[in-house]
A = this chain, B = another copy of it.
Amino acid sequence: MCSRSRPKPLRPGRPRSAEADTAILEATRAALVELGWSKLTLGDVAARAGVAKTTLYRRWAGKSELVVDAVAVLFDELELPDRGSLAADIEGVVLQFAALLQRPEARTALMAVVAESTRDEPLRERIRVSIVDRQKRLVLEGRARAQDRGELPAEPDPEAAARTADLIFDVIAGAVVHRALVSGGPVDEDWVRRFTAVLLGGLRAAAQTDGPTRNP
């Protein structure tokens, strides 16, 4: 119907190399593993990727944006296993997340770009779009599955449902990150079981009181 820009570039001149993009992102992850965020340099990434610095700057505005793109894909590998119960499902995904946070490229990059984003609103938005909000699917999927199983009641108010989902997400993601990167304790089966017990207990308690009696 209309001429879309994508299928054929329609722009004159040499098109950008797609291989360069993947090579750069791979090189970025490799450099993160070896050097960590603060010692990673764009010149080094370019050299690893076999690419000129200019090529890199043509595609990304800076180190932060590049790293966000480089690690975003890692977080998309998370998935919600079907272990038969809501508690088991949560425990499974939390363990996956903890494993991800043991990978050096993920742990060094995640905190660093969040730190940068405290003074850079577009970057914060990019992080949310590329990394964080994409994983809320896990919460939504977990709830839907629990409701199918009858473990959780249906939530009539969609707005309240969204608010609760956000809260759950903050609690899970925040607690696991804090445990893994700040407290430094292990995120092992025992910790996950105790955490999940608190979380689910809280959810059920809140579901009971939240509906009928908000202000007793």
Contact = CB atoms under 8 A, between A and B. Distances in A.
B201 A206 contact: yes
Contact of A185 (B166, B182, B183, B210): B166
B111 A118 contact: yes
A38 B117 CA distance: 11
Contacts of A170: 175, 178-179, 182-183, 185, 195
B198 A206 contact: yes
A119 B198 CA distance: 31
A164 B199 CA distance: 13
Given A38-B116, A178-B174, A200 B202 contact: yes
A205 B194 contact: no
Given A112-B115, A178-B170, A199 B197 contact: no
17 contacts: A38-B119, A111-B115, A112-B112, A114-B115, A166-B183, A166-B185, A170-B185, A171-B175, A171-B198, A174-B179, A175-B175, A194-B206, A197-B206, A199-B202, A200-B205, A201-B202, A201-B209
